[in-house]
Structure 1
Amino acid sequence: MVASEFSPKKVSESSQESSRRSAREIIPLLLELILPHSVVDVGCGTGIWLSVFKEFGIEDCLGIDGDYIDTENLQISLTEFLSFDLQKPLQINRKFDLVISLEFAQNFPIDCAKLFIDSLTNLGDVILFSAAIPSQGGTYSLNEQWPDYWVQHFQKNGYVVIDYLRKKIWNHENVEPCYAQNLLLFVNYNCIEKYPSLHREFKNNSISQLAIVHPQIYLKSFSIAEKKLQSINLSSFISLIPKKLVEQAPSVVPTIREIRQQLAEFLLTIPTESIESIYLSSVGKAHQMLLDSGIKGEQLIEAEQQFVDSLVANIARGFDEPRAIQYLLVAMLYRQAYHLPLTYDFTRVPLWFLKEYLNFILYYPGYFQEIKEVEQYYHHIQKLVNYVNVSLFNNQNSKFWQNVASFVVKSINVTPLYFSTENLRVIFTKGAELAELVLTAKDYKIDYTFPERPANLKKIRLGVLKNHFLPHPETYNTLPVFEYLDRDKFEIILYVIEVHDHPLEQYCQSRADRLTKLPNDTHSQVQIIRADNLDILFIATTFLGSLVLHRLARIQTTYFVSPATTGTRNIDYYISGNLTEPLEAQAHYREQLVTINGTGFCFDFTKEVDAPTIQLNRQILGIPDESVVFISGASFFKIIPELRVTWAKIMAAVPKAVLVLYPFSPIWDTQYSKQFLYSNITTFFAKYGIEKNRLILLDIQGRSNVKECLKLGDIYLDSYPYSGATTTVEALEVGLPSVVMEGNALRSRTAAALLRELQMPDLIANSEEAYVQLAIALAQDSNLRQQKSAEIKQKMQQPPRFMDSRSYSKQMESLFQELCRQKFNSGK
């Protein structure tokens, strides 16, 4: 809460009287040093201090405060009060003999501190000032600081500090402890000789110990903390709130917000030296439950945003800030790590907090809410990986850094990086190097020298590495790699982690010499594959972790199942297509890029046996017959905020359009925040005047059901910057005109490559504006849609190379032979 929300009506009469008593004791001491004829009080409240100055004969008084002050309660005349927003620069064309501002500066966000001090120093040369210190407490405190902080701000304006009053009032029973603790004088150094008494005190001044805590305030802070802790009712809270409660029961959001605020205030109130013991109690459990509740997925309300802004400013000071851990604990309740200006200095994180801190900085909530959030995540992970990589490299024998790096490698989620437009080569290479350092420290033998290949071997021994061969896009586009290889020229070994005896798995096994189930531990997996003395290992999955860091075959390759470079030193080649890769594509890969003609990937759905189990039509979904239906099967995760805005622009330009999404594919995940996606998209839609009922979310499983769903559509909208492959192929299979955008890397070019293969480049956009205009043009011209649909259906019947498994196998056969020829200098 900021100062402008403060209401003096909430201040009790006893509090006002204690301020009056304090003023009556302090002002006479002040008059021994300076005899002012005019006084201005900035943050005057109802003007109590000014009314006491009047008692001492000083009539020229001005009080300044916000428009929240009830002028009926003023202790000064209305003509002596100026209403002003003090978060803005204050300019008054006069100077005052004395400026006072008492227990007020802490109520502003930290980024207003300089502006506020500038306003004070513009008003006069002598300033009586006090502001709350850390943990002093206060409902509206946003920037509690030790006195040295304010001294530095005043010094920048040429003011010196005089600590004269505190020693005289420290134990005075009529003086409030906050004044006894915080009251300081600041004087313009260029004018100090005009005030002999002030000049004398300045010469005798000692400022070596400005940061002091009054005993009564110290005891009060514990009392406040205990009351706040009791009010939160932690035991009840912990026992009642399950994970993701906010998603399951949106009606509890206001209650969870209130509990979060209470816990935040409590954490900022407790003394720093007590934070460890308190966090390791039920407070830490409550903190974790709030993190798990899903409340961070809710948009911050205005007061929360202002509160978080003040936290961010304190966090930016890093671990030099005395209450850094408290600020972090509170910020964790409101924002993700990639929203905060974190200091990557793990050695300064207390060990009792280190695991929770690492979990926090590595956490990805499963979706992005705000524009440019993807890039924030990218830069956050980039800095993190660089920092841990360098730290472990420079401290390879350190158990601390080995443990930290191991935790990071195990927990980091790189999938969201695919939604970025950045070149991922450097960050993925650094990540792979970090993983190698971790394995090396654990005595893994990453490198391996194979015996010389016998010259009389007639067959190339090819291994294909996957998790499983169940029905899955990875299986359908891995099968063509080996399905029709010449068995007189190739010996094929399939390696899997899981065996299911599924008909598709059985068919895949029939197209190879054998299928080997690997054990679960990496050491054994490495030994088994190396023992097979492979010529080539084709890595057909991204989910095998540390195994693919090893040298397992003489030649190791991968392809578009990894949407970007693996960054791995021991993967030699990345296989792609000349229609998919841009110019200068090698800059995106650590591997050597090799391309074949076409898209570089192929699907074989001919072994698919499932039939549709759903019946859908427009009437069932309540879609009017005259509506244009945009449809997309882009994954939940690919629908980033920028894409939501683009789709909103399209929908706004086509008033009768409906958008149908089926984004909940089990390929990506098994649990989705469905309510979040609906709420977030409709929020974007509302900004463009689009009604909620024009968005339909469906949960469709299975390719046959997906194609039934696609028949509802008029136009397919591909995702960007991470485009579709399987989902776009499915749209093309039913003849849907597809709007795609082409980017600068493979992951943003797969759908465009499909259309280029069909020789339909007019459906490819190269910018958001072109994407929107293309979608609108198709929506407004039914003849154009029909023409494009007929053209797609005709070309998909041929079939195109990306659906021709036999042709693709022959391309891969030639490529494998060429790679072996280069490696072994033979004709095989």
Structure 2
Amino acid sequence: MLVNVDSVEVYQIKQNYRRMRKELTVKLLKPGFSLNDYFATDESRIFFKLAKSELPHIKLSSKERALADGLLSICVQERNLGRLLPVWLVTHLYFPSHRIKCVLSSGELLAMAPLELVKVVVYLMLRQPLLMLEKDEPDFCFTYYLELVRIFHALAMDEEESNRGRRELLIEYFYEFQNPSKLYFSDNDLLSVMVLRAEILSRRSRDITLRQRFEVSESFGDPASKVRVGIFMPALSERSETFVTLPLFKYFSSPRFSIHVFSELVELSHDDFLAFAPGCSSLTVIPRNLELCRQEIRKANIGIMVFATNLAAVSSPYVLLASRRVAPIQVAETCSPVTTGMQEIDYFLSGTFTEPPEAQKSYTEKLILLEGPAQAYAFLPRKEKNCPDKIFSRDDLKISENAVVFVSGANLNKITPGMRLLWARILAATPNSCLLLYPFNHNWQRDYPVITFMESLRETALQFGFDDSRWKVLKPLASRDDLLSLISLGDIYLDTINHSGAVSMLDPLLMGLPPVVIEGRRGRGRQASAILRSLGLNEYI
């Protein structure tokens, strides 16, 4: 139920990872060791396993700190690539990428690294932190990532024929490893990052001849003919993207439009789908092959395509699909938390309550603002009586009946160092209080840096002088009914800043739990406040 990182099992995992790191450090730094041969074999999986784990975030022992500081010292002094590169690679097993300084710039490393090692170099540079630990880290990550994307952009746009092989590798590995989603949690305008990212990905499309011009049908815009609206949903299943997209059918429910849904995976029953999309003219299950998918959509003669998926994160096939322009008008919506930066996306659907007055400056798309919040939700009807697997009590969580219980369902990624400090101040100022967290939502990801997160909460509690048992962190819950049972134990719901809650805000409201919301400066930080305004609950903002 509650997360416990003091178990023997967790200790053994940490020690095993540390042993593997020590052995790998010795191996890679051995004089004459061939990095090219190592990364050409399956043995290199150990390196990537450690680099992807939370090991680089776990607090170093005194011996490990001495070794790691020595590695950092070499990185900022050694200009010989042959001696620098193995040290630079190993250092990434001890620190997050954005905390490693090097005498050679990222551009120099990308331009000079042996072609056999370009993939690992690009991966390590683009690797995002699993958990941010310092208060300045969200801004630090943004600055680091923006500079890095600028470097990739310059190399990708280089037309020098002699650099073609390296350029194509860099573009391909950028496509494989880029993911700016961690930047959502800073307060920075992401327009510049997203535009550069889109241009690099567009260059990849151009190089493999995927981009095609779209010939607009003569009937498009004719008042006498229906506009064929496509809604692209990668998966029709019980997930947030589905719940926030189904209400779109209401807005396109008009004799002027016919609605056509395209999905790769359909898990909803026919009856459930029709209940929420009665005006849908067709549902097409698209093939996984990207070119066949594009052809299938183009045959449907869609006039407006709405992409109901996040186009502003990893390089999913759907980003490439959008870059091929499958309709004369293409639209993104709030499944993408920020601008896509893509020239091929013409409009962005949002809401008047969600976007600040100067929001258009942060989008390459033309904003279309619906009255009210950007999000509306349509949840599937319950076929069975509510029956949680677990009915929670305060005794279960070692909470006294007279305690003040704060609750937050924010995903771990949203719980930045600044949020942890703010919540710690609230706990320190409120005697006999605790904070109930359920941050490991599988809709976001499967693996979380649980050990590092719990250790950061412990250190924050120590800093503010209260017992870390006042952080009540739960393992993933089995069902939404379990979640509602848990929320019923609370007194006050706490939202996050910079990237606020949307779906997670609905559950406490359903259970009558008063929220505390701080309205952000950007659309992604105003989702919760927009929902409250639409309900006339402005006093909670």
Q: TM-score by structure 2 length? A: 0.88
The 5 A counterparts of 1:449-528 are: 449-453=215-219, 455=222, 457-483=224-250, 485-502=252-269, 503-508=271-276, 510-528=278-296
Pick from 542, 565, 569 the counterpart of residue 339 of structure 2.
565
Find the aligned partners of 2:301 and 2:8 in 1 and give their Cα distance: 51
Secondary structure of the structure 2 residue equivalent to 1:747: helix
Residues 272, 380 of structure 2: 8 Å contact kept = no
Residues 156, 171 of structure 2: 8 Å contact kept = yes
Corresponding residue for residue 194 of structure 2: 428
Gaps of 5+ in 2: 1-6, 311-315
Residues 498, 522 of structure 2: 8 Å contact kept = no
Secondary structure of the structure 1 residue equivalent to 2:170: helix
Secondary structure of the structure 2 residue equivalent to 1:494: strand
Q: Confirm or deny that 1:312 pairs with 2:72.
A: yes
Give 1:529's aligned amino acid.
Answer: I
Residues 634, 662 of structure 1: 8 Å contact kept = yes
* Structure number, greater radius of gyration: 1
Corresponding residue for residue 817 of structure 1: none
Give 2:206's aligned amino acid.
Answer: T
CA offset digits 1:475-513 (Å, max 9, x no partner): 112111114644422211011111225353353454301
Find the aligned partners of 1:340 and 1:701 in 2 and give their Cα distance: 39
* Alpha-carbon offset, residue 409 of structure 1: 1.2
Corresponding residue for residue 539 of structure 2: 762
Residues 586, 593 of structure 1: 8 Å contact kept = yes
Secondary structure of the structure 1 residue equivalent to 2:376: coil
Find the aligned partners of 2:328 and 2:19 in 1 and give their Cα distance: 61
Residues 494, 509 of structure 1: 8 Å contact kept = no
Residues 97, 129 of structure 2: 8 Å contact kept = no
Corresponding residue for residue 612 of structure 1: 387
Find the aligned partners of 1:456 and 1:721 in 2 and give their Cα distance: 43
Greater relative contact order, per chain length (Cα 8 Å cut-off, separation 6+): 2
Pick from 594, 600, 622 the counterpart of residue 368 of structure 2.
594
Q: Confirm or deny that 1:731 pairs with 2:508.
A: yes
Secondary structure of the structure 2 residue equivalent to 1:323: helix
Corresponding residue for residue 548 of structure 1: 322
Q: Confirm or deny that 1:741 pairs with 2:518.
A: yes
Corresponding residue for residue 355 of structure 2: 581
Find the aligned partners of 1:370 and 1:663 in 2 and give their Cα distance: 19
CA offset digits 1:199-254 (Å, max 9, x no partner): xxxxxxxxxxxxxxxxxxxxxxxxxxxxxxxxxxxxxxxxxxxxxxx996423545
Secondary structure of the structure 1 residue equivalent to 2:350: strand
Find the aligned partners of 1:444 and 1:516 in 2 and give their Cα distance: 22
Q: How many residues align?
A: 518
Find the aligned partners of 1:461 and 1:467 in 2 and give their Cα distance: 19
Give 2:83's aligned amino acid.
Answer: R
Q: Confirm or deny that 1:414 pairs with 2:175.
A: no
Tell me how large the CA RMSD over aligned residues is.
Answer: 2.7
Corresponding residue for residue 132 of structure 1: none
Find the aligned partners of 1:734 and 1:501 in 2 and give their Cα distance: 27
Corresponding residue for residue 415 of structure 2: 639
- The farther-off stretch of 302-311 and 431-440 is 302-311
Give 1:738's aligned amino acid.
Answer: P
Residues 396, 441 of structure 1: 8 Å contact kept = no
Corresponding residue for residue 251 of structure 1: 12
Quickly say closer, same or farther: Cα 1:498–1:276, change in 2 above 3 A: closer
* Alpha-carbon offset, residue 716 of structure 1: 0.3
* Alpha-carbon offset, residue 351 of structure 1: 2.6
Pick from 54, 59, 75 the counterpart of residue 299 of structure 1.
59
Quickly say closer, same or farther: Cα 1:476–1:304, change in 2 above 3 A: same
Quickly say closer, same or farther: Cα 1:650–1:533, change in 2 above 3 A: same
Corresponding residue for residue 493 of structure 2: 716
Find the aligned partners of 2:237 and 2:42 in 1 and give their Cα distance: 45
* Alpha-carbon offset, residue 383 of structure 1: 2.1
Corresponding residue for residue 93 of structure 2: 333
Find the aligned partners of 1:603 and 1:279 in 2 and give their Cα distance: 47
Give 1:682's aligned amino acid.
Answer: R
Find the aligned partners of 1:307 and 1:523 in 2 and give their Cα distance: 50
CA offset digits 1:98-146 (Å, max 9, x no partner): xxxxxxxxxxxxxxxxxxxxxxxxxxxxxxxxxxxxxxxxxxxxxxxxx
Identity %: 27
Residues 403, 433 of structure 2: 8 Å contact kept = yes
The 5 A counterparts of 1:622-701 are: 622-698=398-474, 699-701=476-478
Give 2:531's aligned amino acid.
Answer: L
Secondary structure of the structure 1 residue equivalent to 2:442: coil
Corresponding residue for residue 181 of structure 1: none
Find the aligned partners of 1:291 and 1:721 in 2 and give their Cα distance: 28
Quickly say closer, same or farther: Cα 1:274–1:532, change in 2 above 3 A: closer
